[in-house]
Structure formats: C-alpha cells, structure tokens
Structure 1
Amino acid sequence: MKIAVVVNCLKVGGMERVACNLSDAFAKQGHDTHLIYLKNRKVDVSPNDPRVTLHLFALQRMVMLSGIGCIWLVLCKLLNVIFRKTFVLFFAYAEAIAFSYKLKQLEKKIGRFDLIVFRGQGTFSHIWPLQDPRFVFVCESMQNKAHYGAHSKRIFSWLFSNRRMVCVSEAATSSFIDLIQTYNIPCKSVSTISNPNDYKKIRQDASIASDDVDYHTKPYILGLGRLVNGKNFPLLIDAYHYAREHFDIQQDLVIVGEGRERATIEKKIKQLGLETSAFLKGQQSNPFPWYKGADVFVLSSKSEGLGMVIIEALACGTPVVATNCPGGVCDIMQGELSRYLAEQTVISLAEKIALALEKDQSVAWSQDVAKSLEKFDGEFIVKQYCDAYLSHS
C-alpha cells in the first residue's frame, strides 16, 4: 500500500519523532511510505529508514506567492482579533487549496495514496476544509472543550465533523469522545491507536558516545521535554529540592529540553539555591544517551496524551517516576510500574523519586516493562492502522 504521513514540521519534538517513527514502521512492513511536512524550517529529525521519501509542502509560502495571499493573511489576522486563536483556521482555507494542489501533483508522479495520516491537531488544522475519505486525523493530547471560548462548538465542528479520528491513548479517546458528545459532532469513527517505537534504534542511539553526557560524571535524575507550562518542571524542581532536604539524595537534577518557560525555571533553581546541582542542558538532537545515563527519569506533567518519554526511558532500561496525570500515563505505568506513580504534589513526587533511587527494580518490574513496551512496538501499531483503515481498501 502507498502511505503518506503528514506533520507540521520536523523540528526536535515528540510529535515530530513519532511521525518519523510511524513512517519507519510502515516502511519496515513493506509499504511505500512518504513523509510530508508543511513548514519550510530546518529539518532536525527525519526517518531512519531510507525507503521513506520526504516531501516539503510549503503551504504558507505558496499562499503568500499567490496573487491574493498577502491580502488573505491580513484579513485572517483581523479575524483573529475578533475570534481569538483562529488565525490558523481561517488561513487554512488558502492552505487547503495549496495542499490539494501539491498532493495532486505528487500523486501524478508516484501514484495515488491509499492512506494519509495527519499527526497532531496543529497539523490538520492547516488543511481542515478538505474532505477526503483517505484522511485519518491523529489527536496527540487531551482535549480542552473551552479552547476557543464561546466559539468552541462551531470550531470543533469544523475540525472534527465527518472525520476518521485516532487518539493515542484510552484517556485521550475518552477526552475526545466527551468533546464530540458535548457539542454533538458527528465523527465517522474514533479509534485508539498508540504511538509506535523502534526499540532497536532507541537502544542504538542510547549507546552513542556523547561528550555532553560523559562530561556530567556525577549521577543524575533526568527530566526531559519542552520547557512549557504543561510539562510542569517547576514541580519537578520543588520535588527534587524536597528530596534533597528530607531523603538526602545526592544525585544532580538534569533537565533536557528548551522552551518559553526556561527563564521561569532558571529563576526557581536560583531561588532554591540549586545552581550547583540542577542543570538545564537545552535541546538535544539525540536525547537517548541522557536517558541511559540517568539513575531515574521523572515525568512531572499536568497532562499527557500518551507520555512517549516514559516509553523511551523504559526502552533505555531506566527506572521511571511519573505524575498520575490525566492522559495516557496509566496506559504505560501498569503492574509493578504503577507503584512509581505520584500525585501532582511536591511531597508525593519527592517520595516516589526517593523510592525509585533506593530500591533495586524487581523481576516483576522487568516483566511489566516488557509487557508495557510490547503495546507500543512499531509492527503492532502498523497492524492496527492496516486493520482499521486498509483491510477493506
């Protein structure tokens, strides 16, 4: 089958890595696979399988080069003043035309796609006016029913009516179904299909020598992700400080990632006097050696559509502590792993960190890690897509 995976861009990020992983997984199973990205930005991540073909559909550039692109851009910005957070949705009327044109041109060269998978709401919001029975839209996160304020019903109806939807965890599916039932939005289908992983590649990348990791010779606790409010790194820092004060832990705290909350996080580290033990390492193109070198990985998020970083840490053989937050974390942290789920409080998270550091992981832990990882293997995920969307093609 001929498959296209579509993503907004290929910067360093969880959704972008997942799009590459899904492309690799389809190619590995013998499908003619193409990865389409929509923004002409630096490519930081890309598929590992050489059989995956990359295509840039620079939609905004195409619109701006058209005769009325600049006028439409100004109109959309004015509409965004009246209807907040809607610029992308209105601009999508033009971008959808550009996408349709580029897709037709590509299919003239290589043949018609059997399935086109859009990863993330930030991706398919650029082309939402299009209707195509081959499109599948993947929601990566929990839904906020009031995201568009008084206009939420209308806008979510635009996005989701008569779509084939996939959510990446049971909790994300429940959240999505609650949204469409609240606003009485008719979807064609809603499925739960998780994110794929290539464990062999993760472990290979984790074994690559890294000067940055090797330079940090002191044992450390790891936090990794975008430095944004939802990842709640201030909670991790407070819990780390509490654990140093009450459980006498000696490890450093290392946070890998970049984002708009960096200044806030740096300020908290300074306020708590942790400048010599808590370190921000910035964005890393290969984060896996950091996982492998950590004594424990900690997820402190307020919510997670799935929690890919937990899967990656477990695949690297690293113990995990995570907040029991809304989303897919509990889909991963099952059995013995559930003992390391913390409430979203400083003391609870600190206690679980101390527990993970003091206790050798049991045989049951190893068995439950293996069971958990099996559910997110690339071959299994591709089979779910094929069974759901290609079996009757």
Structure 2
Amino acid sequence: MPRIALYTPSFAGGGTERVMLYLAEGFIARGHQVDLVVNEAEGAFRDQVPDGARIVKLDPARPLGGRLLILSASSWSDWKALARPVLFADKPDRQFPYLASLARYLRAQRPDALIAANSYCNLTALWARRLARVSTRIMVTEHNSLSFKILQKSVKGAARWRALLPLIGRVYSRADAVVAVSNGVADDLSAITGLPRGRIATIYNPVITPELAARAREPAPHPWLTTRDGIPVIVAAGRLAPQKNFPLLLQAFALLRRQRPARLLILGEGRQRAQLEALIGELGIGGDLALPGFVSNPYAAFSRAALFVLSSDFEGLGNALIEAMACGCPVVSTDCPSGPAEILEGGRFGELVPPNDAEALSAAMRRALDAPVAAEVLRRRGADFTLERSVEQYLALLFANRQPREAAGWRSSGGALGDHR
C-alpha cells in the first residue's frame, strides 16, 4: 500500500493538528503506511498519535543556510517575491530552516504522497520536493482565510504576508492538489493569490470519528457540568487568541447574566489568558465563568452543556462547532468567514449573528437556551462531517488518475527519522 506523509509544525493542541491526526488514523485504517512529519515532536496532542503512525522529526538548519536553500529551490520568477518577506526579514520564519531536512526525508524515504497543513508548511513542502528531485505527490491545504489571517498580524507581519501572496499563488500552482476546508476559504485563497478557483478543491475536515460518541460519555471535565441546580452551562472552546474573540463572548455573557442565571466554560489555553482574566474581573462575572485550560476531551463537555458558542472573527471551517452539534449540543455562532454559515446552512441548525456584536450574540444565546434545536437534528447534521467521508475524498483527490506505487521498506534518512508508535 502507498505511504502517505502528513506534514505539520508540531502536535500543538489546535484544530489543524487534530485534523492531521484524524487523517493519519483514517489512512492507517485503510492499510496505508503513515509518517507524521513535524518540526517539533511535542505538543498537547503528542499522546494522541495513532498506533501505526511513524513520527519523523525534522532537524533545523541555520537561518542563513535555510534562506540560501529557499533560493536554490525556487524559480527565477520567485526571487523578487522572496526577497522582502524571507531573505531580508529580521526574524526569518521558524518554518523555513526545516527545508533541507524535509528534502532529505523525501529523497531517502520517497513517500507516495505528502499532505501539508498551513501556508508555510505548504511552501516548504513544494520547495523540498524541487530540491529532492522526487515524484512524491504534494497536496497543500489551507485551514483559514489568508486575508483574515493577515488582518490579525502586526503591521510588520502583515506587510510580509502581503509580499508573500503572489508567491503563494505561483508556488501552489505546482502542487498536485490544493485543498481548502470550506468553500469560503477556497474563494478567499483564489481571490487573494490569483490561483484559479477551479484548481482548489473543498474537503470538509474529518471532525466526527467513530470514537466520538464513546468519548462524549466519559467523565465531565468540570464539576459545573454535573451540578444539578438547574443553571445552564454554556461552553466555548479554542485557543485563547485574538482570532477566537473571546472578549466578545465575555461581554455577551455579562449581558445575558443580567437577565438570567447561567455559567460559562471556555476550554483552551493561549497568550490572551491574562487579558481575559482581567476583563472577567472588570465585568464582575468571575463567579459564573471558568477558564479550565486545555481539555483533551471537549466532547464530554459538549454532550452535557446547554449551549455551545463560537465567537470568532474568522474561521477556516469551525471544527468545534461541528463537534458540539455531533454531541447534540445547541449552537450559536458569529457569521464570520468562512465556515459557520456553511456548517449551519445559513442558520438552519443554529443562529448566526454579526461578528463583534455583543448585544446580538447575547440575545441569540438567550433564545437558544429558551428554545434549543432538537439534539437528534444536530447529530444528523454533524454526521455530514465524518472521518470516513473526508478520508475517501482526500485519497480520491490525492491519487486521482494515478496508480500509486507500492511503498518500499523503511530506510534511514540520515537523522530525519523518529520513532514508531
């Protein structure tokens, strides 16, 4: 059976990393050999690597060497676009020093295909194939809208990203397949990079796995979820980062608390914790709000919550929204680019509100608590985002019009290889 490599920076506890692990699980179940190629073999999801997957940790090169390799892997037409954001940056991106190690891995192991996740991994994978001179099929995937990622950057960071956009379009055109996790992300990628829309396929994330129902029945991660006092518990989940706009949720919850009893759990960790804790104090809602940190099994919370709320400014798809629905939990979401409206079919399965409108979000939360959508309706919609369906679509696109070769036995890659699970 073919060998498939999945390339992501680390095992950090984000939605993209979870998707890559689910894909690994699905490919292994179908008999494929799977390498999880990472820059750093650590993170919250490290202990969730599926049995049968091999971890391949790459080795970084020195910054100057990494920059020179990027030039050698690029066509002459790419050099002008590369000069500003990569070659003359004060702090070169942490991704590019791994280019040489990835090229060595491709040359030594020759996987049939490699799926990369996030823009820098995508670029690195395509440049590495050029350096390695191998026929490995490369699939690049975008999990967020690039235009909104740029808005979240500092002035300096945004300028660097804008300089990269024409390059992204040119380099992505050399991929065997380009995948976006929602139609909105696909539309945005085409518009902002000039990549033809017809070159971009939409494959929804593999969110619902066979194990989800069993994990949803595991012990609750917070005592509020099992307290029988009649006070509804609202749950949100995600990195404590600007994209998720948890300050908006705190403000909406404070408005809701003036009208009715409720509690709020925000599952996740991140650099905004101190800011959120300060805002909780200012709003006077600390007695009814908890930030328990990263939770490895959010399904046990979703299955017991009265409501799930997504307050993001932008999303690629919105995995947690799907997970909550699959657990039978009513949902409310901002109508942000790009996934929520697709998931909720314009509001059919949960109310959509304008982004950054605390009053509208609070009112929608109140209505959802008073008249929730039936759990079975939500579960049926969640079933449209299964691991099985996603794996089928990835494999069909990855090996379209090609008979994959039989993978050779394991070979050493000169220090780039890690361990088996």
TM-score by structure 2 length?
0.79
CA drift of 1:9 comes to 0.6
Matched, 1:296 2:299: no
Matched, 1:87 2:100: no
Matched, 1:212 2:222: yes
Amino acid at match of 2:200: V
- Runs ≥4 in structure 1, deviation > 6 angstroms? 73-76, 78-82
Equivalent residue runs for 1:123-138 within 5 Å: 123-131=121-129, 134-138=137-141
Partners in 2 of 1:210 and 1:188 — Cα distance? 45
Cross-structure match for 2:115: 117
Q: Give identity over the alignment, percent.
A: 25
Structure 2, gaps ≥5 residues long: 71-82, 130-134, 151-157, 403-421
Matched, 1:258 2:263: no
Partners in 1 of 2:377 and 2:106 — Cα distance? 45
Matched, 1:168 2:178: no
Give 2:209's match in structure 1, choosing from 178, 184, 199. 199
Matched, 1:142 2:140: no
CA drift of 1:116 comes to 1.2
Partners in 2 of 1:385 and 1:82 — Cα distance? 34
Q: Go from structure 1 to structure 2 and tell me whether the alpha carbon gap of 1:212 and 1:80 turns closer, same or farther (over 3 Å shift).
A: same
Equivalent residue runs for 1:236-385 within 5 Å: 236-245=249-258, 248-334=259-345, 337-344=348-355, 345-362=357-374, 366-367=376-377, 369-370=379-380, 372-385=381-394
Matched, 1:190 2:191: no
Cα deviation code 1:150-192 (max 9, x no counterpart) = 62445434652422311000000000110222xxx57993211
For residue 22 of structure 1, give the secondary structure of its aligned residue in structure 2: helix
Cross-structure match for 1:18: 19
Partners in 1 of 2:344 and 2:169 — Cα distance? 34
CA RMSD across the alignment: 3.0
For residue 375 of structure 1, give the secondary structure of its aligned residue in structure 2: helix
Cross-structure match for 1:50: 51
Contact 1:39 1:56 survives alignment (8 Å): no
Partners in 2 of 1:49 and 1:319 — Cα distance? 30
Q: Go from structure 1 to structure 2 and tell me whether the alpha carbon gap of 1:260 and 1:176 turns closer, same or farther (over 3 Å shift).
A: same
CA drift of 1:285 comes to 2.1
Matched, 1:227 2:240: yes
Partners in 2 of 1:161 and 1:260 — Cα distance? 35
Partners in 2 of 1:20 and 1:143 — Cα distance? 23
Partners in 1 of 2:179 and 2:172 — Cα distance? 11
Q: Go from structure 1 to structure 2 and tell me whether the alpha carbon gap of 1:171 and 1:70 turns closer, same or farther (over 3 Å shift).
A: closer
CA drift of 1:387 comes to 2.2
Contact 1:37 1:56 survives alignment (8 Å): yes
CA drift of 1:296 comes to 0.4
CA drift of 1:200 comes to 2.5
Q: Go from structure 1 to structure 2 and tell me whether the alpha carbon gap of 1:244 and 1:173 turns closer, same or farther (over 3 Å shift).
A: same
TM-score by structure 1 length?
0.84
Cross-structure match for 2:104: 101
For residue 254 of structure 1, give the secondary structure of its aligned residue in structure 2: strand
Q: Go from structure 1 to structure 2 and tell me whether the alpha carbon gap of 1:42 and 1:196 turns closer, same or farther (over 3 Å shift).
A: closer
Partners in 1 of 2:392 and 2:198 — Cα distance? 20
Contact 1:140 1:306 survives alignment (8 Å): yes
CA drift of 1:214 comes to 6.2
Moved more, 116-125 or 265-274: 116-125
Structure 1, gaps ≥5 residues long: 64-68
Partners in 1 of 2:39 and 2:161 — Cα distance? 27
CA drift of 1:309 comes to 0.4
Partners in 1 of 2:14 and 2:313 — Cα distance? 18
Q: Go from structure 1 to structure 2 and tell me whether the alpha carbon gap of 1:325 and 1:187 turns closer, same or farther (over 3 Å shift).
A: closer
CA drift of 1:295 comes to 0.8
CA drift of 1:286 comes to 2.0
Moved more, 167-176 or 129-138: 129-138
Partners in 1 of 2:350 and 2:15 — Cα distance? 25
For residue 271 of structure 2, give the secondary structure of its aligned residue in structure 1: coil
Give 1:151's match in structure 2, choosing from 150, 157, 163. 163
Amino acid at match of 2:118: G
For residue 199 of structure 1, give the secondary structure of its aligned residue in structure 2: coil
Partners in 1 of 2:15 and 2:116 — Cα distance? 15
CA drift of 1:44 comes to 2.8
Partners in 2 of 1:231 and 1:317 — Cα distance? 22
Q: Go from structure 1 to structure 2 and tell me whether the alpha carbon gap of 1:189 and 1:149 turns closer, same or farther (over 3 Å shift).
A: closer
Cross-structure match for 1:66: none
Cα deviation code 1:358-382 (max 9, x no counterpart) = 11424xx734641x32331111112
Contact 1:21 1:198 survives alignment (8 Å): no
